[in-house]
Amino acid sequence: MVYKGCDIGSAKPDKQILEKYPHDMVDIISPNKIFSVADFCSTSHKTIKKAHLAKKIPLFVGGSMMYFKSLLDGMHDLPDREKNYRAELEQRKLQNGPSYLYDLLKKKDPVYAEKINKNDETRIIRGLEVFKVLNKPLSEILKDKQKKALTNNFSVLQFGIMDERSNIHERIEKRLKSMFDNGLEQEVKNLLQRYKIPKNHPIRKSVNYKQFFSYLNDEYDLETCFDKALYATRQLAKRQSTWIRGWEEFKEIGINDIKILEDTFKKVTSLL
Which domains are present in the chain?
83-141 (1.10.20.140)
- pTM value is 0.78
Ranges under pLDDT 50 in the chain: none
Tell me the pLDDT tens digit for each residue of 128-182.
999 999 999 999 988 876 667 888 888 888 888 888 889 999 999 999 999 999 9
Q: How far apart are CA 192 and CA 187, in angstroms?
A: 9
Give the model's pLDDT for residue 148.
74
Say what the pLDDT of residue 28 is.
Answer: 94
Residue 146: predicted pLDDT? 62
Q: What is the pLDDT of residue 145?
A: 64
Percent of the chain residues topping a pLDDT of 70? 99
